Structure 1
Amino acid sequence: MKAIRRFTVRPVLPQPLGPLAELAGNLRWSWHPRTRDLFTALDPDLWESSGRDPVRLLGAVSPARLAEAARDESYVRRLTEAVDDLREYVTGSRWYQERDAEGRDRLGPELPRAVAYFSPEFGITAALPQYSGGLGILAGDHLKAASDLGVPLIGVGLLYRHGYFRQSLSRDAWQQEHYPVLDPNELPVSLLRESDGTPALVSLALPGGRELRAHVWQAQVGRVPLLMLDSDVEENDPGERDVTDRLYGGGSEHRLLQEMLLGIGGVRAVRTYCRLTGHPEPEVFHTNEGHAGFLGLERIHELAVQAVDFDTALEAVRAGTVFTTHTPVPAGIDRFDRELVARHFGPDAELPRIDVGDILRLGMETHQGGEPNVFNMAVMGLRLGSRANGVSTLHGAVSREMFAGLWPGFDAEEVPIASITNGVHAPTWVAPEVFRLGARQIGERRTEHALSVGGAPGGDDRWDAVADIQDADIWELRRTLRAQLVHEARRRLHESWRQRGAATAELGWIDEVLDPDVLTIGFARRVPSYKRLTLMLRDRDRLMELLRHPDRPVQIVVAGKAHPADDGGKRLIQELVRFTDDPRVRRHIVFLPDYGMAMAQKLYPGCDVWLNNPLRPLEACGTSGMKAALNGCLNLSVLDGWWDEWFEPDFGWAIPTADGAATDDDRRDELEAAALYDLLERRVAPRFYEQGPGGLPDRWIEMVRRTLTRLGPKVLAGRMVREYVEKLYVPAARAHRVLDATAAGELAAWKARVRAGWPRVAVDHVEASATGAVAELGATLSLRVRVRLGELTPDDVEVQVLAGRVDPEDHIADVSPVPLKSTGGPDGEGRLVYEGPLALDRTGPFGYTVRILPSHRLLASGAELGLVAVPSEATGEEAGVLMR
């Protein structure tokens, strides 16, 4: 008979084991080996069967075993040390607290008091399955690294009752989705409660007088609280209860409600949390992708309630907002019908004090090719954030091109979208065996610090110490990790075939799948078409030769999920799995269903080579290869995402691309697959199997060593979060403090005046005279520019000269704008004169031009307003002159 209600009865721990509850309640255990060892020691088999989840473990371990552990003096002593270590970790000074802000104050007066970090998904641990892929794992690593560094972050997301789907395969290799129900009472989370003990509630007004209510669950990620909103509340109608049912599920309105709850409800949850706990209110709000963009509207509405007008509130909110885009293609951006958005805002729904027209304008696609009836969440994120970034150097450039239409008149390289390359949280992703080898070399504490905080690449002796590890120890480590992967792959493959309907009697061959002494390649990620899961199948005969080579065989482990609505991705999985089912190759290449964090933590360390072959430049970053690298795995990848900026032949290989405009998609795949086969056959496999005088693959081991010493410090999430603090959070906090209601009103009024007067701003004439008869290196041009400013004043603008080398189309590269100086009042025709020198500091084709930009001390960048005035063709003979 089915129970009408399910709940977990928590055990009563013996007094000496009481601290176990404290350790289980803080997700630091997910990346802290000594804490995990305590739970493992209670019952190793139960630890594995409980999914390595301390909450489930403590709910299932027998009272007799708990009593036995309570009498074990050694165990209790280790437990006391672990809980003392946790308490010191969450309260002691770390990098953020010790940062000396330019020598003025040890606490750093420019550091934000708190940062709110919003994301639709967070991958913290497999025990809290609230993630689907790279975006969520990145968000989880961001929180963990912020905790390690002591950054006062508050994470904000949604709690999905079904999480993301579990994947299996049908007999004919078609992806099957399963959505197990998650009970928050069985998860490592707690309900945020009011002072009287009742659950805290946030609510949103919906059209027709309805209301969307949500509880707030809190997970403690080291020092960082993660707040997750849950709409499965009894007071809600059935439709509203299902808003947080599935990650990325439902239709357009369902997604809109999820994103309204995340952004608007998330801000309200943060306010509630700070009120109840005394946590400092955030000065900076960081939206991780456009899904959480409505948080800016809620903050504008907070000011509107205080009678602040929309334009002033917009400037105040923008100042402290950071927006990170992860999407290299327009199709990956959330876009809603404008009428749907309009229906959910205004007097009869949410944010009644903001005019709906103002809201719609924030998401309007005004760039060329934009659709007038679409509300674009990324566009709104850029307009509501004074600072924005992509997640690798290449992705930053792609993003500037993609969104350049929002800043008309500016070249793409001047679009105000910066780059901070993603990193990964090494303590989460480094295998215990790798950690122990490092601890043996430099000590446990120094190893922990090197992995969590890190240092400058090439200048950190903790990472350089890898150079002293013996070749034999590195090779034995790699063999151990490979053997563990082989064991895990066989176990998962057996389980998958049983789910597909196979009988045990026909699965004996699985015991011979993979070989711990064979070169092992890993490929695991989501399965959209641009990641090209099946590129390796382009020439199946050649792939078979590689897999079955008599002297230098290769084996491949593949995993990945297609979105439930992506039949194209499912067909790719089916095609690959059918190939892996072929008896001729099934011992050499396997597909493992249900890719997730638990699998990844075995897969990354166990591979020798990590393969990535997306269509360049459609991979924003691609952090899986970083996690593999931290375990001594070499990368074999297209030069895309992070590999484009950090690739070196010393620690990996670059797959040549055929991305010229004249190459069609089919031909491109053919050429790049051939390049992949060539690399594997001629360079990768020979190096792996080539033995030196001592019987070891010396050159391969050296590549592993260089991967760890030179690439390792770069790929750390600690490095990434430090960059966010220094490049984005500190400037945003500074701007937030400066732009109070008065300053924000001043800036809003100035922008309105500049926009109104800009049509009458023009470059009227440009003259140049040289110090010599010819343009020689070291000569100087004297520039004289006459401009018209209309109703604007010289204080409202900056007149600049831009100079540098020019390409065959006369485009100036590597521009460094130099301001010109006003020489006095207007002439008889109302024109102002600006002058300045221009040094000819490089040889070759050279050119210059001039322009006028709005200028104000409170602007985040000169391109912020998207306004620029440049010379017309008739401005003067010397305007834009080219010299060769």
Structure 2
Amino acid sequence: MKAIRRLTVRTVLPEPLRGLEELVLNLRWSWHEETLDLFRSVDPGLWESARQDPVRLLGEVSAARLAALADDRRFLRRLDAALDDLRDYLTAPRWYQSQDAAGGPQSIAYFSPEYGLTAALPQYSGGLGILAGDHLKTASDLGVPIIGVGLLYRHGYFSQSLSPDGWQLEHYPAVDPNGLPLTLLRDPGADGDPVRVAIGLPEGRTLTAQVWVAQVGRVPLLLLDSDVEENDQAARDVTDRLYGGGTDHRLLQEMLLGIGGVRAIRAYCRISGQPEPEVFHTNEGHAGFLGLERIRELVDEHGLSFDEALEAVRAGTVFTTHTPVPAGIDRFPRELIHKHFGGSAGTSSVPVDRVLALGEENYEDGDRTVFNMAVMGMRLGQRVNGVSRLHGVVSREMFGGLWGGFDLDEVPIGSITNGVHAETWVAREVLDLVARETPAAMPGHGWESALDVPEHEIWRARRTLRERLVLDARRRLRESWRQRGASEAEMSWIADALDPDVLTIGFARRVPSYKRLTLMMRDPERLRALLLDPERPVQIVIAGKAHPADEGGKRLIQDIVRFADSEDVRHRIVFLPDYDIALGQMMVAGCDVWMNNPLRPLEACGTSGMKAALNGGLNLSIRDGWWDEWYDGQNGWAIPSADGLSDPDRRDQLEAAALYELIAEHVSVMFYDRDGAGLPRRWLEMVKHTLATLGPKVVSTRMLRDYVRQLYTPAARSARAMAADDYAGARQLAAWKQRVVKAWPGVAVDHVESAGEESPHVGQELVVRAVVNLGELNPADVAVEAVYGRVDESDAIVSPSYRELPAGEAENSRVRYVGEVPLDRTGPFGYSVRVVPQHPLLASRTELGLVALPPAPMGMTNGDLR
């Protein structure tokens, strides 16, 4: 008989071992090697069979073993030392505490639909979650006061296996929160009852959730769980699985994450005494409804109007977009939004028409029938960023319509390139080599010391990691083939699968079509030749999951599995099912080369190649995401991309041919070119260069410092300016915006002229005069700018510069502006004039999307400067 409910019964530890529970309940153990060593020593065999999950370990270890450890003085000394180290880590000042305390926020709320922290907490599906997990770990290491918010999925993401013919199968193992390193948030003021947050639904229904807390070092992560008895079955199922269910189900998850998440933070801060967040960071659009809840709070509790509350919320909100693919953005039917935010479910504080306007695609080529979560996130966030420099460019192109008549370069979407948490992803052997010279500097600094590490030591470490991957791959292969129904006799070949001395290429990621899992199979015979080359063989380790609803992705997996099943090559190419953090750690450490061949520019950033680089791997990649930014010719190889081709089949053919040639003529040649000591000197030079130059860039400490300096601190200052004196700033800005938007149609550039155009020379100044009709506005409401620079053949100004023109005499609403433009470059030169709104509380002059330009071709000078 099958159980109808799964429970985890925790062990009762002997008193001397009670400190183990404190260690288990702080996820710092997931990246702290000394604590992991302590857990391993409890029972080494059980530790491995429990998949390095300390909760499972302590739940299954025998009473006799616990009794022996309770009497083991050496173990108890190690336990005390680990506890002291953790407590010191949690309380000692860190990087953030050394910064300007008055400038940075006292608290930051970070919302994400998934978090990849450890394989023991399966609440992630891919890169978004892994990035969110690394963000929290790094915040803990740096002392950045973040509170994370997410959902607790009772089935998490699916476990992957393969059918006998290589088709992906999904399994959703039930997750019992009591068997995870979590604690239930309880209210001491309510006799210790669990905290409940609730959101209203249509037809008078209520969605209620309890709050679990995962302690990620210094950072609390609040996970909302709707599986509570107050809910009906449909409501209990809202947090059943990550990215599961249909459109209605997904909307309820995102409402609970955003609206319920804000309410959970309020309860947590009240109970814990931590400061309320000044900055709210929305990691992709899934949590965008948090802005609506904050608007409701300000309207109901502070008496602000919707517009005034919107300005206060925007000032302290950061929105990060993670996708360059429109299909990757959540869109809901407008009628569904109306159902959940209007009628009986609506409130006067947040009118449904204002909600719908926030997510409306009211720009050219927009779909007027949908509600776009990313668009709402950008309208609710004063600061928006992509996750690599190239992704910033793509995002400005995707969303530029939100900012009207401005050039794409001025669209206020910046970029902070992702990074990875070194202590999670870098093998101990590599950290020991690089940190040996400067141990106190890790992680984030000291990577340049790799240049001083003897090459034979790097080669020995790389061989150790490659062998570890081979052994783990054989174990996983055997397990997978057994699940597919193979007999022991049919699996004898696995004992010799892969070779710890063969060039090993890794490819692991989600399997949407644009990532092109099967590009390597474009010419199967050429791939076979690479794998079976008698002098320079190559082996490839592959992993990845397709979304359960993505039949095309599943077919790609089946294609690669069928090829890898071929008897002649199966010892050289393997597909390892159930890609997760543990497998990812093994692969990025053990592979010599990390391969990535997406359709450019559809990879927002991609971080697996960063992890490989930090382990001494070299990248072989299309110049997309982060690799476009930091490839320097000496840290790997760039696969040429045929971006301009309209024929996708021809493009794949050309890029696959380039991939084969790079592997055959460059990668494998350099790997197998050994000196008298058996060392590939040129290869190792590239490895050392990669560690020394990429190391400081790709670590998440660099990333989070960028967030603090470029986004969090400015957002906190803006939020304070809005909130001061009972939100006087928000009230003022909202009134000013309403006045400017209403009056803007009356703003016009009536006349532009210049002096000094005859025979201009470099170093001279061009005097520009403009007459602007401000209509009902005042000169203080606008900035009049000269826009100038090199022009192309169509007279478009390329990479323009801007200089504000001072206001002069005025006649009624017409104001004369005069200023000088430097002629600082030779060749074709042009200028124009524009009018933009300005206010000290705006983050940028493009914020309103309003600009007034002279009628073409007025004001254009196009002449060669000498």
| TM-score bracket for this pair, using the shorter chain length | over 0.9
In 2, Cα distance between equivalents of 1:616 and 1:726: 30
Number of the residue aligned with 2:10: 10
The aligned amino acid for 1:333 is I
Which whole-Å CA distance do the structure 2 matches of 1:36 and 1:754 have between them?
A: 60
Q: 1:27-42 to 2 correspondence within 5 Å?
A: 27-42=27-42
Partner in structure 2 of residue 318 of structure 1: 314
Alignment of 1:61-460 (within 5 A): 61-99=61-99, 101=100, 108-195=101-188, 196-306=191-301, 307-346=303-342, 348-349=344-345, 351-439=347-435, 441-442=436-437, 445-446=439-440, 449-451=441-443, 454-455=444-445
Matches within 5 A, 1:376-775: 376-439=372-435, 441-442=436-437, 445-446=439-440, 449-451=441-443, 454-455=444-445, 462-660=446-644, 662-740=645-723, 741-770=727-756, 773-775=758-760
5+ residue gaps, structure 2, are: none
**How many Å apart are 1:418 and its aligned residue?**
0.6
Counterpart of 1:720 in structure 2: which amino acid?
M
Task: Name the CA distance, whole Å, in 2 between partners of 1:864 and 1:642.
Answer: 27
Offset at 1:351?
Answer: 4.6
What is the match of residue 860 of structure 2?
A: 879
User: Partner letter of residue 265 of structure 2?
Assistant: V
Contact 2:359 2:371 in 1 (8 A): yes
d(CA) in 2 for partners of 1:4 and 1:536? 45
8 Å contact from structure 1 (residues 298, 351) kept in 2 = no
Q: How far off is 1:4 after superposition? A: 5.0
Alpha-carbon distance, 1:2 to partner: 4.2
Q: Which amino acid aligns with 1:816?
A: S
Q: The residue matched to 2:698 in structure 1 has which SS?
A: coil
> How many angstroms apart in 2 are the aligned matches of 1:285 and 1:401?
25
1:473-525 per-position Cα deviation (integer Å, ceiling 9, x unaligned): 11011111000111011111111111111111111111111110000000000
Q: 1:25 aligns to what?
A: 25
Instruction: Give the Cα separation in 2 of the matches to 1:437 and 1:637.
Output: 26
Q: Residue 847 of structure 1 contacts residue 883 of structure 1 at CA under 8 Å; is this kept in 2? A: no
SS of the aligned residue for 1:710 comes to helix
Q: Verify: 1:795 aligned to 2:780, yes or no.
A: yes
State how far apart, in whole Å, the 1-side matches of 2:86 and 2:250 are: 38
Task: Tell me the secondary structure at the aligned position of residue 151 of structure 1.
Answer: coil
Q: 1-side partners of 2:17 and 2:364: how far apart? A: 64
Aligned to 2:763: 778
Letter in 2 for 1:598: A
**Contact kept? 1:347, 1:353, Cα under 8 Å:** no
Which one of 796, 799, 823 corresponds to residue 814 of structure 1?
Answer: 799
- The answer on whether the counterparts of 1:786 and 1:831 sit within 8 Å (CA) in structure 2 is yes
1:304 Cα deviation from its structure 2 partner: 1.4
Name which of structure 1's ranges 818-827 and 42-51 shifts more when overlaid on structure 2. Answer: 818-827
Q: Which residue of 1 aligns with 2:823?
A: 840
Give 3-state SS (helix, strand or coil) of 2:371's partner. strand
Q: Distance in 2 between matches of 1:848 and 1:74?
A: 77
Task: After TM superposition, give the deviation of residue 732 of structure 1 in Å.
Answer: 0.3
Aligned with 2:847 (options 855, 864, 875): 864
Q: Residues 881 and 799 (structure 1 numbering): CA distance in 2 closer, same or farther, change over 3 Å? A: farther
SS at match of 1:418: strand
Q: Which amino acid aligns with 1:78?
A: R
- Partner Cα distance (2:791, 2:125) in 1: 45
Distance 1:559 1:819, change over 3 A: same
Deviation of 1:467 after TM superposition, in Å, equals 1.6
What RMSD in Å do the two structures reach over aligned CA positions? 1.2
Deviations 1:179-202 (A, max 9, x none): 000000000001001111111000
Q: Give how far 1:76 is off.
A: 1.2
**Secondary structure at 2:194's aligned position in 1?**
coil
Q: Deviations over 1:349-385 (max 9, x none)?
A: 2555211000000000011111111100000000000
Deviation at 1:694, TM superposition (A): 2.8
**Paired letter, 1:82:** A
Indicate the SS of the match to 1:583.
coil
Distance 1:809 1:500 in 2: 63
Q: Distance in 1 between matches of 2:497 and 2:489?
A: 16
**Is contact 2:835-2:851 (8 Å) kept?**
yes
25-34 or 687-696, larger mean C-alpha shift = 687-696
Contact 2:314–2:380 at 8 Å: present in 1 too?
yes
> Shift in Å at residue 70 of structure 1?
2.0
Tell me by how many angstroms 1:48 deviates: 1.3
Shift of 1:3: 4.3
Equivalent residue for 1:104?
none
Q: Give me the whole-angstrom Cα distance separating, in 2, the residues matched to 1:880 and 1:194.
A: 70
| Structure 2 CA distance for aligned equivalents of residues 624 and 222 of structure 1 | 23
SS at match of 1:217: strand
Offset from partner CA, 1:658-687 (integer Å, 9 cap, x none): 111x44111100000000011001110000
Between the aligned partners of 2:565 and 2:848, the Cα distance in structure 1 is: 58
Equivalent residue for 1:105? none
CA distance in structure 2 between the partners assigned to 1:202 and 1:350 by the alignment = 18
CA contact (8 A) 1:763 1:786 kept: yes
- Corresponding letter in the other structure for 1:496: S
CA–CA separation in structure 2 for the residues paired with 1:234 and 1:628: 45
SS at match of 2:529: helix
Deviates more, 1:300-309 or 1:620-629: 300-309
**Distance (whole Å) between structure 2 residues aligned to residue 189 and residue 882 of structure 1:** 69
Instruction: Say if 2:60 is the partner of 1:60.
Output: yes
Q: CA deviation at 1:808?
A: 2.7
Q: Distance in 1 between matches of 2:817 and 2:768?
A: 8
Cα deviation, 1:822-861, whole Å, max 9, x if unaligned, reads 112226xx42110111111011222111100001000011
**Residue 755 of structure 2 contacts residue 767 of structure 2 at CA under 8 Å; is this kept in 1?**
yes
> Residue type matched to 2:242 in 1?
L
Letter in 2 for 1:537: M
Q: In 2, Cα distance between the equivalents of 1:450 and 1:286?
A: 27
Preserved contact between residue 345 and residue 352 of structure 1 (Cα < 8 Å): no
How far 1:6 sits from its partner (Å)? 3.6
Deviation at 1:779, TM superposition (A): 2.0
- Contact 1:293 1:377 (C-alpha < 8 Å) held by counterparts: yes
Separation in 2, partners of 1:117, 1:346: 28
1:748-771 Cα shifts (integer Å, max 9, x gaps): 11001100110010111110111x
Distance (whole Å) between structure 1 residues aligned to residue 225 and residue 126 of structure 2: 21
Show the counterpart of 1:458. none
TM-score where L is the length of structure 1? 0.96
Amino acid at match of 1:785: A
Counterpart-to-counterpart distance in 1, 2:583 and 2:778: 63
Distance 2:406 2:668 in 1: 48
